[in-house]
Chains A and B, each alone.
Chain A
Amino acid sequence: MAVPLIVRRLAFGLLVAAIVVYTVFPFYWAVVSSLKQGTGLFRVEFWPSEIFPENYVNVFREQPFGRNILNSVLVSTGVVAVSLLLGVTAAYALGRFEFRGRTSLLFAILAVSMFPQVAVLSGMFELIRWMGLFNSLWSLVISYLIFTLPFTVWVLTTFMRELPKELEEAAIVDGAKPWNILVSVFLPLLGPAMVTTGLLAFIAAWNEFLFALTFTLSSEQRTVPVAIAYITGGSQHELPWGNIMAASVIVTVPLIVLVLVLQRRIVAGLTAGAVKG
């Protein structure tokens, strides 16, 4: 290895720079494009010479995009709340109790997370219609549980098992009921884990497309991904790329900020189920 240190340093620096450009450029390009208008959009400039914020106004004027964002927030929050509530009680049983069937149950739950969504589509459609929830946001809150719930249970169980045994034993000796032990002993300690799990479930629900596309009909009931997929504008020949990019930037920026602020926790959550076991 007779390569001089400076050359190696330089090569490594170039590699890092290449990775950064590769990962960031598409988003940067979306921001640049969202600030262009008319024929300006069709000139490739890596730095916009003029800035037109109109696309950001048009997105909200040409479709109920504000409503779509609200829908996504409501659905994702609802799904996360239900998943965490059900997930933490299940994780308590799976993480702190020994009983027959525990491992099989965990595997059954893991198996559900491998279901392709399309495999339950027609059955779910029938169920939603039977409950009278077609074209309602509730249809999404219910159907999204199929992917948020197994994930939440799995990750919370992993975290739950790591807590020391003594905590619980003291409470049992004091004669505390299981529900009280869960609420007053474990819940406070699981705070960080619940934030991580909740955040990942939120992102999964926020990004979901297939169910949202199939179970909603009117543009007022659409969530953000469906709304963006349906932006077609007035012209038949060309999509309104400026609007699409503006809409993309609007909903992506909060996500990126959230992810960057909480990156340590996200990494912990992503790896909890996969690596530690």
Chain B
Amino acid sequence: MAVADAVVDQERGSGAQRAAVADAPSRLDRRRTKVAWLFLLPVIVALVLVAGWPLTRTILFSFTDARLSTLDAYETVGLSNYLYLVEDPAWWQAVKNTFVFTLVSVSIETVLGVAIALALNAHFRGRGLLRAAVLIPWAIPTVISAKMWGWMYHDLYGVINVIFLSLGFIERSMAWTADPALAMAAMIAVDVWKTTPFMALLALAALQLIPNDLYEASRIDGVSPVKVFFRITLPLIGPALMVAVIFRALDALRVFDLPFVLTGNNQDTATMSVYARQQLVDFQDVGFGSAASTLLFLIIALVTVIILMSGRVGLPSAGK
């Protein structure tokens, strides 16, 4: 009732206004448009300065032989940086690492996140405590998470070796972050620990929007909980979950701090970002590093376009 009244009121109000200023709207609109752009000017200038310009320069650098120490003296070398790049097995290893990391960690985070969200959505004593506990990993800076886990993974004195040995999961201490076969899994475990809360919170927010009647109806009909989850819950939280998955995936594709702090420039876990920065800063090769950065940018742009084109997901529409 109240809502309907308000809508009517609003329509009547704007109608009256329109009648009163019969000829004015276009002029008023134009003035309001000008005001809007004026208010947007600072942000546009700032974003061009800190995003548009540096990105353009990076792309231009990728066609040169610029060095970090002599950034203003360089020559154009055409595509040769890219040609070297595609022949470097270390680059392809970094590409593979990045995609394995993204696919595996985001999948696990989504499943775990939904599970935790379902638990958080149930009514029980200590729910506040659980939510608080879940927020802790999210609040800890990635660098610190990497250090904390690095210590837990320690090959000689790490608590993980001790726990796993006593539980009989492993027979001898493992070098979790140094062993090529384990390092990626170790890194994914840290990321899962750190970012599952984000997924859980977004899934929870979506869950809380589902009207309770739906559940009650299916309970009365005696539908099994598993069926309820796959037939009702999942389709309803699907769109919100997809948005969260996209944000997480784009984040994971550019990950830098976690592999860098946990395993350094180790090739078994180096992501594209780690590779590009190593070329750029450690080897001072701005041209080559910029080519790697540009490719990473293109890959992320491509993934974004594919996701958007597949059309199943509308991004949070700004216009509502």
Counting chain B CB atoms within 10 Å of each CB, the highest count among A82, A255, A271 belongs to: A271
> Cβ of B85 < 8 Å from any Cβ of A?
no
> Cβ of B306 < 8 Å from any Cβ of A?
no
Counting chain B CB atoms within 10 Å of each CB, the highest count among A106, A125, A143, A228 belongs to: A125
| Contact for B250 among A22, A99, A114, CB less than 8 A | A114
Supposing A112-B51, A274-B240, A275-B206 touch, asked if A263 and B132 sit within 8 A by C-beta, the answer is yes
Q: B209 to chain A: which residues have CB within 8 Å?
A: 275
Quote the shortest CB–CB distance from A1 to chain B (angstroms): 7
> Cβ of A65 < 8 Å from any Cβ of B?
no
Q: In the bound complex, do residue B243 and residue A275 qualify as a contact, i.e. CB atoms below 8 Å apart?
A: yes
Q: B154 to chain A: which residues have CB within 8 Å?
A: 241
How many angstroms from the CA of A128 to the CA of B38 in the assembled complex? 27
Within 269-300 of B, Cβ neighbours of A (below 8 Å) are at 272-273, 276-277, 280-281, 286, 289-290, 293-294, 296-297, 300
How many angstroms from the CA of A180 to the CA of B38 in the assembled complex? 14
**Number of contacting residues on A, CB 8 A?**
100
Give a binary string over B139-178; 1 marks a CB under 8 Å from any A CB, 0 the rest.
1111111011101101011010010000000000000000
Please give the residue numbers on chain B whose beta carbons come within 8 Å of chain A beta carbons, in ascending order: 10, 13, 17, 29, 32-33, 35-40, 42-44, 46-47, 49-51, 53-58, 61, 66, 68, 71, 116, 119, 122, 124, 126, 129-145, 147-149, 151-152, 154, 156-157, 159, 162, 193, 197-198, 201-202, 204-206, 209, 224-225, 240, 243-244, 247, 250, 253-254, 256-257, 260-261, 272-273, 276-277, 280-281, 286, 289-290, 293-294, 296-297, 300-301, 304, 315-320
Q: In the bound complex, do residue B151 and residue A245 qualify as a contact, i.e. CB atoms below 8 Å apart?
A: yes
Q: B136 to chain A: which residues have CB within 8 Å?
A: 23-24, 27, 256, 259
How many angstroms from the CA of A115 to the CA of B84 in the assembled complex? 24
Supposing A19-B119, A207-B142 touch, asked if A24 and B290 sit within 8 A by C-beta, the answer is no
| Contact for B277 among A27, A93, A118, A266, CB less than 8 A | A118
| Contact for A122 among B33, B38, B40, B58, CB less than 8 A | B58
Q: Chain A contact residues: over half helix, strand or loop, or mixed?
A: helix
Quote the shortest CB–CB distance from B70 to chain A (angstroms): 11
Quote the shortest CB–CB distance from A257 to chain B (angstroms): 9
Q: Chain B contact residues: over half helix, strand or loop, or mixed?
A: helix
| Contact for B320 among A124, A161, A229, CB less than 8 A | A161
| Contact for B40 among A105, A255, A276, CB less than 8 A | A105
Name the CB-closest residue of B to A249: B144
Q: In the bound complex, do residue B140 and residue A255 qualify as a contact, i.e. CB atoms below 8 Å apart?
A: yes
Within 244-277 of A, Cβ neighbours of B (below 8 Å) are at 244-245, 248, 251-252, 255-256, 258-260, 263, 266-267, 270-271, 273-277
How many angstroms from the CA of A194 to the CA of B44 in the assembled complex? 20
Q: In the bound complex, do residue B157 and residue A274 qualify as a contact, i.e. CB atoms below 8 Å apart?
A: no
> Cβ of A126 < 8 Å from any Cβ of B?
yes
Quote the shortest CB–CB distance from B319 to chain A (angstroms): 6
Quote the shortest CB–CB distance from B25 to chain A (angstroms): 12
Q: A124 to chain B: which residues have CB within 8 Å?
A: 50, 54
Q: In the bound complex, do residue A1 and residue B224 qualify as a contact, i.e. CB atoms below 8 Å apart?
A: yes
Name the CB-closest residue of A to B55: A120
Q: In the bound complex, do residue B320 and residue A118 qualify as a contact, i.e. CB atoms below 8 Å apart?
A: no
How many angstroms from the CA of A193 to the CA of B165 in the assembled complex? 49
Binds B, one of A47-55, A56-64, A83-91: A83-91
Q: In the bound complex, do residue B37 and residue A86 qualify as a contact, i.e. CB atoms below 8 Å apart?
A: no
Q: In the bound complex, do residue A207 and residue B206 qualify as a contact, i.e. CB atoms below 8 Å apart?
A: no
How many angstroms from the CA of A158 to the CA of B55 in the assembled complex? 27
Supposing A116-B293, A203-B139, A274-B316 touch, asked if A15 and B300 sit within 8 A by C-beta, the answer is no
Q: In the bound complex, do residue A145 and residue B46 qualify as a contact, i.e. CB atoms below 8 Å apart?
A: yes
Supposing A116-B273, A120-B58, A203-B139 touch, asked if A42 and B156 sit within 8 A by C-beta, the answer is yes
Known pairs A121-B277, A263-B132; list 18 more (Cβ under 8 Å).
Answer: A90-B40, A90-B42, A102-B319, A116-B253, A116-B273, A116-B297, A119-B297, A122-B289, A146-B50, A207-B142, A228-B143, A248-B140, A248-B147, A259-B139, A273-B316, A275-B316, A276-B316, A277-B315
